Structure 1
Amino acid sequence: MIKAIPDEKQMQGRKERANTMRVISNYLQIALRILWRHKLMMNTIRFSILASLLSISLLALAVAVSAEAPVEYQVHFTAEDMAIDGRANEKSWSLAPLIKMVDRAYPSGKTLSPSITTVQALWSEQGLLVLFLCKDEDILATFTERDNRGFYKDDDVELFLDPDMDGTSYVQLAINALNTKMDVLRREPQWTDGGMPAFYDWDSGTESAVVVSGSLEDRTDRDESWTVELLFPWSSMSQATLNVLVSEGYGIDVLGGRSIPPKMGDKWKANLIRFDHGDKEGAGVLSTWSPFPDGDGAFISNNCVHYSTYWGVLVFVE
């Protein structure tokens, strides 16, 4: 049985509820700080009661926010021989549930232009298969060097995987419209003075194909779309491979003891991302499967996509 994927209205409602809770939380925290500043002017018993009520309210709100269930996608198993050619002609693709990505302006504050993106996923004995279809009137891609740090400046699609769901070590795979790849093992999402800890020399062995309906060179014409089909092989995360990385001092183990290939019913945290930079005025669109909360420009620009708190969950099923 194929599980229904939340539609755009459901996703928007979930995001609005989470944002409302965060706004209320901010006001409660401000009230609690003000209360502490004026505690000497208040009766001790009255102060204790008010402080306790505010603390209980914050705790209840935290529980409510954490109770927001992440979006889930049931990844169905296929035994069909899948050709990675960007055409998606196999019958299995017609049975895979369809995800419609959620758009937001990038950078924050820019005018949002519709950027329709749909995604499907399957799994096989060989690996995880993902199919992106990106509607795009102006396809832009320039990077041809693998693992270039400025990759996100191109039109690209990205896959984030956290098999053990610990929020610290994870896989980032990006592919642009030229079929150039960036695959990285990251140790933690937080920014540090030395940058984001990562292992760029890792080669996932991902097989991919890109089909472009339009042009990459002509900014004056009107393009239609580009499609990415990929196979992320389980062998890239074999325990033997990860043990070598750990022994070399990288300390990156994204599995955390999880089975690879995954077993039926296993769950992985994940997100699906698309950057569309084709707007000639400099505005772009960041499309995601699992939505991020509204925030200031710093949050949106400073790699919010790396915070697995806001990722969804892949469920591997028959």
Structure 2
Amino acid sequence: MKLRLYSFIVLLAAAAGCGGVPPSAPPRLAAAWTAEPVTPDGVAAEEVWSRAQPYPLLPPRDRNGGTGCRQPGTVRFAYDDRFLYVLAELDDDDVVQEEERDNRHLYETGDVLELFLWPEGKAHYWEIYAAPNGRRSMLFFPGAGRKIFLTAMQEHTRLRAGARVDGTLNDWSDRDRGWTAEIAIPLEELTRYGDPFGASGNWRAMAARYNYSVTLPEIEYSATSPLPKTDFHLREAYGKLVFPERIEHK
């Protein structure tokens, strides 16, 4: 009787798709080379952004059925000898960020784009924020088992970020159209612990988003990786950051 019951449970789980679907392979995220530096002001005027591949933000599978974001967005990557650059273009009908200082946990106070960078095989990784009002933060974790947020904040870095809002910030009574953010992450921070960056490195990356809106039934979470659940620290799901051959544009 127990054996037949066990067999029935296994067959039922297989029919429902439970545990039978392998996890999605991490996406490949190509960073376009730029010979000219990007000014992180939230205005995607640089030529490199026309070449950089846009990657859509996807809801985790435990949110919204994993079928798509109610308010979609895309993220692009670029780099030069000094910085890794990120451009996010985000639909948003209620743009909000109430924190007016840098180096804060901006996901607690409104809309934010997060970027996670991990040298694969190492314990340490970074978490970087950019908000629609131009506020920014950079956190460093020595390891996944040592996420002490109180001391993770890196207050003295050359991290730069800028944003532009298409609408009115912090006014829930009207409808906005969205916001754009650009981030410049100094490579001197990412190589501080001996991890090479670029074609000789082995980096994983994921952009993620907290989207607050008065018109949404709940906070909308999304990421460039198809996450099995809402957890932005699932490093094995981060995309593989790749660096195509440099092309000098004259």
- Note whether the superposition's TM-score is higher than 0.5: yes
Structure-2 change in CA distance of 1:179 and 1:141 (3 Å) = same
Q: Within the alignment, does 1:159 sit opposite 2:115 as a pair?
A: yes
* Separation (CA, whole Å) in 2 of partners of 1:227 and 1:312: 22
What is the TM-score when the length of structure 2 is the normalising length?
A: 0.80
Q: In 2, Cα distance between the equivalents of 1:157 and 1:187?
A: 22
In structure 2, C-alpha distance between the alignment counterparts of 1:226 and 1:152, rounded to whole Å: 18
Does residue 218 of structure 2 align to residue 283 of structure 1?
Answer: yes
Structure number with greater CO (CA < 8 Å, separation at least 6) is 2
Give the distance between the partners of 1:106 and 1:211, measured in 2 at CA.
Answer: 31
Deviation at 1:137, TM superposition (A): 0.6
Structure 1 residue 177 and structure 2 residue 112: aligned?
Answer: no
> Is 1:258 aligned to 2:213, yes or no?
no
Q: Distance in 2 between matches of 1:292 and 1:104?
A: 5
Corresponding residue to 1:311 among 235, 238, 250: 238
Report what 2:41 is aligned to: 85
Q: Please report the TM-score for the alignment, with normalisation by the length of structure 1.
A: 0.64
| Structure 2: segments with no counterpart, 5+ residues | 1-15, 246-250
Match of 2:161 in 1: 208
* Match for residue 273 of structure 1 among 208, 216, 219: 208
Q: Which runs of 5+ in 1 are unaligned?
A: 1-18, 26-63, 240-254, 295-299
Pairwise CA distance, 1:94: 0.4
- CA offset at residue 196 of structure 1? 5.1
Corresponding position of 1:293: 228
Give me the whole-angstrom Cα distance separating, in 1, the residues matched to 2:165 and 2:62.
23
| Equivalent pair of 2:93/2:176 in contact (CA under 8 Å) | yes
Is 1:103–1:115's contact at 8 Å kept on the other side of the alignment?
no
Q: Which amino acid aligns with 1:258?
A: D
Give per-residue Cα distances to partners, 1:212-237, cap 9 Å, x unaligned: 11011321111011000111111223
AA aligned opposite 2:209: R
How many angstroms does 1:150 deviate by?
5.7
Question: Which one-letter code corresponds to 2:232 in the other structure?
Answer: V
**Partners in 1 of 2:132 and 2:46 — Cα distance?**
22
Look up the match of 1:24: 19
Q: What pairs with 1:72-111 in structure 2 (closer than 5 Å)?
A: 72-104=28-60
| RMSD of aligned alpha carbons | 2.8
The aligned amino acid for 1:286 is: Y
CA distance in 1, matches of 2:52, 2:140: 27
Shift of 1:81: 3.5
SS of alignment partner, residue 103 of structure 1: coil
Instruction: Measure how far apart 1:280 and its partner are.
Output: 4.6
| 230-239 vs 86-95, greater mean Cα deviation | 230-239
CA distance in 2, matches of 1:146, 1:107: 29
- How far apart are residue 209 of structure 1 and its match? 1.1
Deviation (angstroms), 1:202 = 4.3
- Indicate the SS of the match to 2:30: strand
The one of 126, 129, 133 equivalent to 2:85 is 129
Q: Deviations over 1:242-272 (max 9, x none)?
A: xxxxxxxxxxxxx4x422xx24253311110
